[in-house]
Structure 1
């Protein structure tokens, strides 16, 4: 009787052409659609502003959906690990730039956040030859707080509830900015430590 060939075999690697990666790509495609909807009526508190805000919230919410599907169905891929944070950055970057164009968010806040996001993304690409670097826990918290802060800034609540909502928005945006800078520094510290670690001997 012959032994089963699959007894000690490693599980097959999931294909890059799967549902979680497709959802991530759709999130990237939705970014320019959202951007145009936000700016087309100069950010007025009308239907398009509400539609743009809702589209952003729905698109950013898919981040948790595709991650859950990938983990629960063993569909985690290196491509997904790379595209997922890129999709978040494209969507949040479009929102931040749009809010700054509308003079609803200082440009320096947008620039600080984008420099951090683009810098870390470029670093990830540079490290591709050695390893794929997924988002850290701090990075995921940063993304969550950014999403809440941007959603509050996009929703035209001040027109309905009064100017005090702007203070709430400012608090969340400040927290998002702090987490963005802190986690960016943390990534740089990790990179420095990894570069100092001597390669393992064969």
Structure 2
């Protein structure tokens, strides 16, 4: 008996969005190596490509009705793995302050585990507009640290990353405040 076709109403995991997500995960070690070996333009280019695939896989999955359980789990893992890898490697290979990485990682993992706990209770916590702004600021900040910019850009780069940290913390707190209101 062949199991190549999914059960009625269930999408196959073999689709373009899941392939893009899987490629993103597979290329994270390459990205880390590029950063640690300070091949900045290659690291920047790969980071941009990986972030574009993040946007594409979600857009394609929703537009074509290809949302799968694998995608729901793998996509956020790929997102967190890429961002955490970028931050930690930048701590090692550049002047990104370690405290920024620590704050972002604690918030990201804390909210992720909290959302998983809520999901087990049957409560879905969707991404907020602030969460999307957080992702954009983190992405731009990391991109600026990766891109070999002139020395005078070090202050604007730091400011963008500082804004990313502030929005990261504020949105994390907002998730918890909103959840408390819903559960009362």
Please state which band the TM-score falls in when normalised by the shorter chain.
0.7 to 0.9
* CA-CA distance at 1:109 after TM superposition: 0.6
**Where do 5+ consecutive residues of structure 1 fail to align?**
1-10, 197-202
Matched with 1:145 is 137
Matched with 1:167 is 155
Question: Where in structure 2 are the equivalents of 1:172-187 lying within 5 Å?
Answer: 172-187=160-175
Cα pair 2:94 2:145 within 8 Å, conserved: no
Partner SS for 1:29: helix
Structure with greater proportional helix content: 2
1:93-151 per-residue CA deviation (whole Å, 9 max, x = no partner) reads 11111111124111101100000011111112222322443422221221111111110
- Greater Rg by CA: 1
Question: Where in structure 2 are the equivalents of 1:59-138 lying within 5 Å?
Answer: 59-129=50-120, 130-138=122-130
1:13-60 per-residue CA deviation (whole Å, 9 max, x = no partner) reads 4333322122112212211211112113xx3xxxx2211111111101
What's the C-alpha RMSD, in Å, of the aligned pairs?
1.9
1:48-97 per-residue CA deviation (whole Å, 9 max, x = no partner) reads 22111111111011111111101110112344233322211111111111
Cα pair 1:82 1:132 within 8 Å, conserved: no
Matched with 1:12 is 9
Q: What is the TM-score when the length of structure 1 is the normalising length?
A: 0.79
Whether 2:19 is the aligned partner of 1:22: answer yes
Whether 2:20 is the aligned partner of 1:32: answer no
Q: What is the TM-score when the length of structure 2 is the normalising length?
A: 0.86
Distance 1:155 1:84 in 2: 25
- Regions of 4+ moved over 3 Å: 131-134
